[in-house]
Amino acid sequence: MKEILKIENLKYKYPSYPNLDFPQLLNGINLTINTGDFIVILGKPETGKSTLLKIILSLIPRYTKGILSGKIEYKGIPVANYNPYDLIEKIGAVFQNPDEQIFTTSCDTEIAFALESLGLNREEMIRRVNKSFEVLKIEHLRNRNPATLSGGEKKKLLMACLYAANPQIWLLDEIIDELDPGSALSIVQRLIAEKRTVILFSSKMLNIFKDISCNFFILKNGILLAADKMKNSDFNMLMADEGLVIDNKHEALTPVQRLNPERMVLIENLKYKYPGNIDFNLHIDNFHIEKGEIVSLAGKNGSGKSTLGKLIAGLKEKESGLLSVKGKNNLSCAYLFQNPDYQIFLPTVKDELSFGLKLTDIEIEDTISKFKLPNRDVPPSLMSYGARKRLQAAVYYLMDRDIYILDEADAGLSLKDFDMLINILYKKAKSILIISHNLDLCTRYSNRVYLIDSGKIVKEIETDLQNTLDTYFMTESSNL
């Protein structure tokens, strides 16, 4: 196998601003990639994974400034010698947030965009676009506007863009986060079977990685630690220390008293029609959440999970059917958006926590300490992504909501932080609904799991959650 990418003693520090000095982020990265290597770089949020990806793509320090030293070579030539637009067929990437990379108004045009830049003839472009749709199993999205796709569908579309451009190295940033397990496994297996050179960045050690043959690295304190250079037990311990994996069962989870159940949410024959031209509607026959339960909602990308969550939270209007939420009407639910910045808009942590509430200094300090937030006067916009997510949860914690809906709340959080959040929230909430593609999370915390597909509940799982879910999604994967 030939060496294709070499990184030597790479160091990087973001530029400092008045009253804000960033620490050294990358502190001597060494990595050699050969053609056909499949590498997984694990690291808790904010350790520099996305920054490393953008340095390899010659985007940093081009766009961000900062101090960069060390060497990155693609086939012996420094990547800094290339402009990003020269790298289409050399190094391609899917960013963590798919909305950052989509800029056309139909899926086929999106895939063809890079091919047009390469000046390919139309017949070749059509062939590649068709093949990409076929491989990613998204033919049905061909004429859809990407803005109307779910998060996972957008990631599949961006994977299709890479497939069409056919770069030598694929950089995939948290690609698994929003993909359903069946699709994720199918895509990863295909990349391995086709011997593609892949660097996959992830903030969690997922089950899917255990089933494939790849090299693991952990990014810690700005350096890469290779799994094959340490004992298995040391590697597992390091992962646990970094919050990349948690083995013990969730301590807060207790069996629900079913003798006299109190239904917090009851849905019967609920219908919701999507606005616009989307040929997809939600129809939920039966769904309920009892007091004290943690229920998960799992399903493929674009199956209607978030829509159901938003209907329960009162953020969408039903078309017909019964949707009963016990409590104080629209104030009974807290909906934690995947993107915390939607809910944070005030100048300091203290302002955010006390917005609309009369809190004592002791209550504020107690919440800050409980959610491991920086001090009360720090502007939230300068806090790390993980800290902003913890602040978002802290805000709802103080608002005393009965039902907490966590929509992909684990994205961008270490498992340790997610575990901490769910422990704190469960002590306050009457019920929790987890919306996630991460089957480990669903089974770890939930009493029951609902499986949703094409806008309908297809299965309610109460026992043997892990095996039933694994079987369901692996069957789906084999159908892909």
Partner 1 sequence: MITSTFIQGNSFLHKADPRLKTSILLCTVILFFLPLSITAMFIFFTGLVLISIYSLGFFKTLLPFKMVLPIIIFVIILTPPFFKDGASILIIKNIIILTSEGLLHTIRLILRVTGITISFYIFFSTTSINNFILALEWFKLPYKAALVITIALRYIPSMVIIYNNIQDAHKLRSSNTQKIYFWKKINNMFPTLVSVLIHSIKSIPILSMALELRGIGSATKRSQFNIIKSNKMILQITISGVILLLVILVALLI
| Binds partner 1 (CB under 8 A): choice among 129, 191, 422, 434 | 129
To the nearest whole angstrom, how small is the minimum distance from the Cβ of residue 461 to partner 1? Answer: 29
Residues 297-316 that bind partner 1 (CB under 8 A): 310, 313, 315
Window 342-361: contact mask with partner 1 (x via CB under 8 A): xxxxx--------xxx----
Span near partner 1 by CB under 8 A; candidates 244-252, 286-294, 329-337, 470-478 = 329-337
Taking the C-alpha atoms of residue 161 and residue 83, their distance in angstroms, rounded to an integer, is 19
Taking the C-alpha atoms of residue 289 and residue 322, their distance in angstroms, rounded to an integer, is 14
Span near partner 1 by CB under 8 A; candidates 10-18, 108-116, 206-214, 464-472 = 108-116
To the nearest whole angstrom, how small is the minimum distance from the Cβ of residue 433 to partner 1? Answer: 14
| Binds partner 1 (CB under 8 A): choice among 68, 80, 126, 480 | 126
To the nearest whole angstrom, how small is the minimum distance from the Cβ of residue 245 to partner 1? Answer: 30
Window 165-194: contact mask with partner 1 (x via CB under 8 A): ------------------------------
CA angle (413 as vertex; 8, 223 as ends), nearest 5: 15
Residues 412-431 that bind partner 1 (CB under 8 A): none
Window 56-75: contact mask with partner 1 (x via CB under 8 A): -x-x---xx-----------
To the nearest whole angstrom, how small is the minimum distance from the Cβ of residue 138 to partner 1? Answer: 17
| Binds partner 1 (CB under 8 A): choice among 32, 103, 140, 366 | 103
Count of other CB atoms within 10 angstroms of residue 405: 27
Residue 148 sits in the site that holds partner 1 (CB under 8 A): yes
Residue 17 sits in the site that holds partner 1 (CB under 8 A): no
Angle between helix 151-165 and 107-117 (nearest 10): 30
To the nearest whole angstrom, how small is the minimum distance from the Cβ of residue 144 to partner 1? Answer: 11
- Residues composing the chain: 480
Span near partner 1 by CB under 8 A; candidates 117-125, 232-240, 441-449, 460-468 = 117-125
To the nearest whole angstrom, how small is the minimum distance from the Cβ of residue 54 to partner 1? Answer: 7
The residue ranges that bind partner 1 (CB under 8 A) are: 54, 57, 59, 63-64, 83-88, 92-93, 95, 99-106, 108-109, 112-122, 125-126, 129, 145-148, 161, 275-277, 310, 313, 315, 329-331, 333-335, 337, 339, 341-346, 355-357, 381, 395, 399
